[in-house]
Amino acid sequence: MALRDDRPTPEPSPDPILGGVKVIYIGGLGRSGSTLLDLMLGQIPGFFSSGEIRDLWQRGLRENRLCGCGLPFRDCPFWTEVGREAFGGWERVDVREALSLSGAVDRHGLVPLILAPRVNPGFGRKLARYSGILSRLYRAIHEVGGTRVIVDSSKTPSTAYLLKRVDGVDLRAVHLIRDSRGVAYSWTREVVRPDVVGRTEYMRRFGPARVGFRWVTRNLLMEGLPRAGIPTVRVSYESLVDRPRQELQRVLAVSGEDVGASDLDFIADHSVHLRPNHTVMGNPLRMHRGTLRLFLDDEWKSSMSGPRRALVTALTWPLLRRYGYGVERRTPPGQQRR
């Protein structure tokens, strides 16, 4: 385990839930509504919205960014207790080693080895070590939060394949998609990160060609999850915003959770009510409290240049058609659908 000293750390106790800790993993490409879906699921009793757990080592422990509750990660009582439950305290975790292990096994090009680690014994040993760390982490979140379901919106497909191999995790997945033109346009926007204290930091930006390539590769990897034995449902950002209650019910069906109609009362007519959360990383939306109006962000239809739109369409066209997206004509400014 990635611990700083040789003091014994108690092994995790058997999980009281038959089949392990249930995790709903939201995967796909960023800027597709993953934080929104994460937060919405987190409003359901017994569900815990965790944000992007994959970034906990860097963004949480190393950079001490703000938790969704508004406190720095290391000052958050919830995450402090998780660290104590999992490892005897975060001070006992060797962050450098955790990051090294994550980088060594959690990559898209290594998915074949994740599925068949015996092919490379050295990789298999690293995978086993990192899986052990994650097992402790997810179990501790479950115990401290008293939750039935952990929602993880880390998005990276390789992480989903990795979690399939983590002892004590009962994995379900949401393949979240969005029109590639909308995703590409969103990645060009300049967005300030509200979880960084003391300086102004912007979310990363990528050009349309790179986004188009990433959109295709990530979606294809997500399509492979059912063949790997992971129950998966495909949800589109556009449908989630237009029909939030129905789309959540589809996610709940694959989760196997029995949720009453009243548990979705936080959804109103074109809005949702969001309680405070303890998310690690994600869209700035995770810092929102109270009522959030839902509207389709389709600014790209009027603001994305013709050449960029054509490039992204050409790069992603086969999957766009498969997912039901058509050729969109440019909408004059001021006429975006809301």
Tell me the mean pLDDT in the region 106-110.
98
pLDDT at residue 336 in the model: 44
Tell me the mean pLDDT in the region 114-118.
97
What amino acid occupies position 134? L
Tell me the mean pLDDT in the region 103-130.
98
pLDDT at residue 2 in the model: 54
CATH architecture for residues 21-298: 3-Layer(aba) Sandwich (3.40)
Summarised one tens digit per residue, pLDDT across range 247-304 is 999 999 999 999 999 999 999 989 999 999 999 998 899 999 999 999 999 999 999 9
Q: Which strands, in side-by-side order, build the sheet including 271-274? A: 267-268, 271-274, 290-293
Rg (CA), the chain: 20
pLDDT at 190 over 90: no
pLDDT at residue 195 in the model: 80
Q: Which strands, in side-by-side order, build the sheet including 21-27? A: 47-49, 149-155, 21-27, 169-177, 232-236
Return mean pLDDT, the chain.
92
Contact 174, 239 (CB under 8 A): no
pLDDT at 12 over 60: no
Contact 309, 316 (CB under 8 A): no
CA pair distance 47, 174, nearest whole angstrom: 15
* Range with lowest mean pLDDT among 35-39, 152-156, 191-195, 204-208: 191-195
pLDDT at residue 326 in the model: 85
CA pair distance 197, 220, nearest whole angstrom: 37
pLDDT at residue 48 in the model: 98
Helix (H, G, I), strand (E, B) or coil at 166: coil
pLDDT at residue 10 in the model: 39
CA dihedral (130, 136, 140, 143) in degrees, to 10, reads 140
pLDDT at residue 332 in the model: 54
Q: Which residues pair with 202 in a beta bridge?
A: 192
Summarised one tens digit per residue, pLDDT across range 57-76 is 999 999 999 999 999 999 99
Tell me the mean pLDDT in the region 30-50.
97
